[in-house]
Amino acid sequence: MARHYYTVTWDQLHRDARALAWRLHGSGPEDGGWRGIVAVSRGGLIPAAIVARELDCRLVESVSVLTYDEEMRGEPMVIKPATAAGDGSGFLVIDDLADTGSTLRLLRLALPRAHYACVYAKPAGRAAVDSFITEVSQDTWILFPWDTAPQFVAPLARSAPPGADPA
């Protein structure tokens, strides 16, 4: 189980995904732009839609990879390939997070010529991604907006004994 949690709001995700698009803009194939985007389902679907809009990219394919069950990580398995992307030439592969990099390493076998981009990356996943925006520690679990709901939180003074470390 994670030691730290980092909550990402819809606004923050949108800002970070736009920052990723800005970083990727103009860095596509030499013919002037990206041929398409492969969204890694499910976490990469929303960031990919934002990047596609910002880069004016109309061809959006998806690849479905099963890796997590709640916070328990398993071996990644492709359950729906990205057939429209061919070998990945001219395509961006977009995911929300490069955690260990195992998902992206698996996808590189099928799409070796694609450019791999994530909104967030952890140290163990950095080598598997070509572009990212924000790095978080390996022991941090990111709470994405699609996995959370706003709720009441008691004031700190009511939840921690005096002098206790809140972390």
Q: Which residues are catalytic?
A: 95-96, 99
Distance from C-alpha of 143 to C-alpha of 145, rounded to nearest angstrom: 7
Six token digits for residue 85: 């992307």
Whole-number Å distance between alpha carbons of 136 and 147: 18
Task: List C-alpha distances in Å: 89 to 29, 38, 113, 148.
Answer: 8, 11, 5, 35
- Dihedrals phi, psi of 30, to nearest 5 degrees: -65, -15
Residue 48 Cα distances to 87, 133, 159, angstroms: 19, 14, 38
Q: Is 92 helix (H, G, I), strand (E, B) or coil?
A: strand
What value does the CA radius of gyration of the chain take, rounded to a whole number of Å? 17
CB 80 within 8 A of CB 135: no
